Amino acid sequence: MTASSLSAAFADFQSRGGAPAPAAGRDEDETRAGGVTHLGSQGTRYPADYDPSVLETFVNKHPDNDYFVKFNCPEFTSLCPITGQPDFATIYISYVPGELMVESKSLKLYLFSFRNHGDFHEDCMNIIMKDLIALMDPKYIEVWGKFTPRGGISIDPYCNYGRPGTRWEEVAWTRLSQHDLYPEKVDNR
């Protein structure tokens, strides 16, 4: 930092009466213009079956930074496609955003839409991952479902994706090939 830029920064600080610079936040108009409609809505509609149309995005203000966003969803439910019995899981979704990010309330509504959806655990995790890739084109994403046991067996499907032609493609292969090398002890969750 040069002496003149330091002087300018100090003058700016003094002009605000010693207050910090205002944060670069989002205003409601910017957020709504980006397509966020569920957040803050009093008329939330909960889908009765699988519905990816409820997913919404907003603009990532830091697309040049690589960073993880992680969602932990401990109350995921779907139905067994054969018996119709409920399956319960904790779902972990981690991703490195590109230009767009998924809005969390819309993600909650989307995951809720699986409640009456009949599909195998492995299918649900791959569907979730593919829908999120189509929605926001992340640099990297992984989805891991840890389902509670039924019939004495728990199933923990893991899937991931790295954007082709980028270093994230290799990260995806490395994480997949080394996934669960040291499995956790499962005590009936």
List phi, psi (to 5°) of 83: -95, -20
Residue 149 per-residue DSSP state: P
Write down the catalytic residue from 51, 73, 80, 131: 80
Neighbours of 152 (CB within 10 A): 6
Distances in Å between the alpha carbon of 83 and those of 44, 76, 102, 116? 30, 18, 33, 13
**Which stretch of DSSP H or E encloses residue 63?**
none
Name the token pair of 102.
């998924």
Write down the catalytic residue from 12, 29, 73, 87: 87
Reported residue count of the chain is: 189
Catalytic status, residue 87: yes
Catalytic status, residue 51: no
Taking alpha carbons only, the member of 57, 140, 144 closest to residue 104 is: 57
Name the token pair of 14.
């003094």
Which active-site residues does the annotation give? Answer: 80, 87
